[in-house]
Amino acid sequence: MHDDRQLIEERLQRALRERIRPAVYGAAVPLDIEVWHAPGEPVSPAEALAQTYEPAAIGLPWGPAWGTAWFKFSGQVPAEWAGREIEAVIDLGFSGGPGFSAEGLVHTTGGRPLKGLHPRQTYAPLSILGPDGTAAAAGDSIEFYVEAAANPEVLGDAGGFSPTTIGDKPEPGGKPIYQLTRADLAVFNAEVWDLILDLEALDGLQRELSLQEPRRREILRALSRSLDALDYEDVAKTAADARAQLTDVLSRPAHASAHQVSAVGHAHIDSAWLWPLRETRRKVARTVSNVATLAEEYPELVFAFSQAQQHAWVKENYPEVWERLKKAVAEGTIVPVGGMWVESDTNLPGGEALARQFVHGKRFFLDEYGIDTQEVWLPDSFGYTAALPQLVKLSGSKWFLTQKISWNKENKFPHHTFWWEGLDGTRIFTHFPPIDTYNSDLSGRELARAQRNFQENGAATRSLAPFGYGDGGGGPTREFVATARRVANLESSPRVTIESPTEFFSAAEEEYAEQAPVWSGELYLEIHRATYTSQAKTKQGNRRSEHLLREAELWSAAAVVAGKLDTYPYAELDRIWKAVLLNQFHDILPGSSISWVHREAEETYARLGAELEAIIAKAQQALAGDGSSSIVFNAAPHTRNGVAGLGAAVAAAAETPVSVANGVLDNGVIRVTIDERGLITSLYDVEAAREVIAPGAVGNLLQLHVDTPNQWDAWDVDSFYKNNVRDVTEVDSVDFSTVDGVATVVVKRSFNRSTVTQTLRLEPGAKRVDIETEMDWHEAEKFLKASYPVDVHADRSASETQFGHIFRPTHQNTSWDAAKFEIAAHRWVHVAEAGYGVAVVNDSTYGHDINRTARPDGGTTTTIRTSLIRAPRYPDPKTDQGVHTVNHALVVGAGIPEAISEGYRINLPERVVTGAEGVAPLVTIDNPNLVVEALKLADDQSGDVIVRLYESTGGRSRGTLTPSFATTSVTEVDLLERHLADRDLDGGVALDLRPFQILTLRLKRS
């Protein structure tokens, strides 16, 4: 037989495009149109419907970027259409894909939301267009409204990453960017629609089969016969005949050994990205309305809906949609998943913040639905911390799902179903869908890829496929669910069953748990490494908010327990935590959203900071009382300057003074030499009798790189950035002085369009150099780093992560090692050889690169570089322009314990309050390796004290926790403060923690 494959495939594509798809709708009558253009931000349906509407027509320009138009559509259904399927077809002028372009929400005349509209879902069935969302019939008059959102195409043509100002919050008076294209009542030709799905399902499948497979040729022949049976002049009349030619190839069952796909409806909705937070509220309402309406037609639909924040938005803003959502959850159609407040980034949030993601997320689902979610759902975050498995388990969950690791650039991840082992040894059953997308359309191409790609073939048989339009929401459509029916049991394709994530995980774990491989440590994403640095003010706001929340909880709890305050600020802290957690979403905190989002985040952090400062000041003043003494409050977990951790005391006298002479800063512990360029040429550790700065090198060297990644500008830094570097050694001035007993050097530099002022400080008795860097930054596509080359032979570095630290290689032995050319760390990084180490601590940065080089003298230089600031141009061309101040410290002779304590010190500076007395810590622990991360009153408002602590050094640690208040009992609880075990109380609580173990205790006050 001659090979006519290409001829048939091309014939089919043109027939679908030009003949068959246009025939889905038959007879049509236009709807009457009226419009009201909202003048600014979105308004409620009640307010919109009360406005005066103007007559409009097809072709009407509408919607300046980010604007809203409310359309009123009305008409009469022709009586002669009785017995036929009828739909309103509304095309708002879509120019892009679902979730990224104009979107609409259909409302009744009473303002009740009914169904979303987007570029692949332009219809509203007659079954919901009657009075108050009831069914209408032939001969009836209908009237409904559409709230149309003019979301611009920020992504640009083909994802070109071109700089654009369209992501700014708009000024009034913008030009319309869309035109209303269609508004009709039309007859829906279901047979034609079914034919399209038959043809697409088979064509997608056969294209994935090898050319030699008989099944591929059989499908091709059937497709050809189907087209032969179709009369292009009357597609609707002959569609049934065309479908009949496909019956045989569609009815053949899957092979007995076929892979099993659990398909779950999904709509990945970024809580902010190329749109602001306020738009996501509307996206969620549109998507939930779509799903609830679709489930009425397809009762087998199961939809996984993550992010408690998005559920909360529905409850707060759309009461009618909330009632539909609760009903769908109760019926099992919509399944809450994830157990987190948002799908957060996991590299950058602090330990307690990541714990609170689970606390607030799971508690919302428990309180509102009575559901204790079991799976953590993070398909799109930019890498996954090794702290997650323990936090997942302590939250009461047991499964984990991600998709993003399929984006790895250098190495293909070796597993799809596996046990993920965290830094403390906790393991959770994890799945990584081989379909390689969280927005599947269940096409033959995607299903075949899932079957081929599944790494566990031969040992396991199941994978999960989230299907539906996503990123900007939308969710599954009737086409997707109907396709699932067609491929449920189809020869050469996997078997497909629509079911919940819980059903999938339960079956997968039962089948494969004993054989599943183990992946230990972080899930490092080999792309999007610049998210550790982009949008510095957003990251700084997050870090500061986390530590202010720690202080507000600590001192408020101490004041209430001491009887100095009557009430603990439960409501205020709950609200503030949720706002901070929202901004940890994986496109906000990483710095990959539009300008509007990040400017709003900065405003939020400023407001929250002021509120938290007021809460802290009120509690501290109550504790200190009336007096004239200077009381030093130490919120860090370790004693410093004579003040106990978590306590307060009268300020101690200053230690031995420092000296400044001939460019040398000396406090008797370390000597720092600064040259005429303002660079550290020597850092001598007196006690260890060794030079810290590597021979021939200089410390605190600013290095400027050209930073032009191939794509994903705000997200990516490509390894070739290192090929173009400029050492910034020019200096405007270098001034030495002693300020309040502290040796100080102020270095001012100018380069390109930017200036940097650095203040280096050496305090009495300190084994560190503090470096404050103020940058007035006006660069484009540049990357600024600060370099610290030290004379230490280290083959690995330690980086603080949530509730512990992880080690990463400083060499590039393998492609996995080389891929980690930029790494994330929290408050500190540390390098060491046997007997000696150096740490760099920070108060608001995350990105680092750490490498080593061999010297001619035979020694090794290990260079720590901190990433200070970037200047990507997409999606926010103004990224990081302006003034920024960050703080670092170079700590010498430091082990891991010193790195930990110095990291807390720089993030929790001492506060001085004028008062009468100090404050005993609420709890003390006699082992500094056991670190208190949170101290607060219980969320149930019982007055119990909650202490969360962890083993910080990576070894087994024992100690005793002693409360300073009368305590009747102690229990071990999970993150949600639910009982796990009783603990003995004999004057104190005996502690015996494994490496990096997290322990939460509830202390009941007498």
Query: Which residues carry out catalysis?
Result: 380
Which residues have a Cβ under 8 Å from the Cβ of 306 and sit 6 or more positions away?
336, 337, 338, 340, 343, 377
Tell me which residue of 716, 692, 876, 721 sits closest to 789, measured CA to CA. 692
Max distance between CA atoms of the chain, in angstroms, equals 101
Tell me which residue of 706, 214, 282 sits closest to 473, measured CA to CA. 282
Find the distance separating the first CA and the last CA of the chain, reported in whole Å. Answer: 90
E strands, 814-956, where?
823-824, 828-833, 836-842, 847-854, 860-870, 882-892, 911-915, 923-925, 930-937, 945-951
Q: Strand, coil or helix: what is 988?
A: coil
H helices then E strands: how many in the chain? 19, 53
Q: How many CB atoms lie within 10 A of CB 247?
A: 11
Q: Is the torsion defined by CA of 413, 416, 417, 420 positive or negative? A: positive
Secondary structure (DSSP) of 130-164: SGGG----TT-EEEEEEEEE----TT-GGG-----
What are the residues facing 685 on neighbouring strands? 670, 690
Pairing of strands 399-401, 375-377: parallel
Secondary structure (DSSP) of 653-705: PP-SPPEEETTEEE-SSEEEEE-TTS-EEEEEETTTTEE-BPTT--BSEEEEE
d(CA 487, CA 254): 9
What are the residues facing 632 on neighbouring strands? 649, 912
What are the residues facing 55 on neighbouring strands? 34
Amino acid at 582: L
Across 643-665, b (16+ Cβ under 10 Å) vs e yields bbbbbbbebeeeeeebebeebeb
Tell me which residue of 52, 34, 55, 50 sits closest to 148, measured CA to CA. 34
- 831, HSE (Cβ side, Cα atoms, 13 Å): 28
Tell me which residue of 40, 248, 37 sits closest to 147, measured CA to CA. 37
Helix (H) / strand (E) containing 217: helix 214-228
What are the residues facing 637 on neighbouring strands? none
- 801, HSE (Cβ side, Cα atoms, 13 Å): 29
Q: How many CB atoms lie within 10 A of CB 207?
A: 16
Residue whose tokens read 């991840």 = 413
- 760, HSE (Cβ side, Cα atoms, 13 Å): 27
d(CA 38, CA 42): 7
Q: Strand, coil or helix: what is 95?
A: coil
Residue whose tokens read 């001829």 = 7
Tell me which residue of 499, 422, 554 sits closest to 995, measured CA to CA. 422
Residue whose tokens read 């003074």 = 657
Helix (H) / strand (E) containing 261: strand 260-266
Q: Strand, coil or helix: what is 773?
A: strand
Q: C-alpha distances in angstroms, 901 versus 113, 424, 840, 847, 930? A: 54, 20, 12, 20, 12
Tell me which residue of 58, 53, 67 sits closest to 29, measured CA to CA. 58
d(CA 495, CA 260): 5
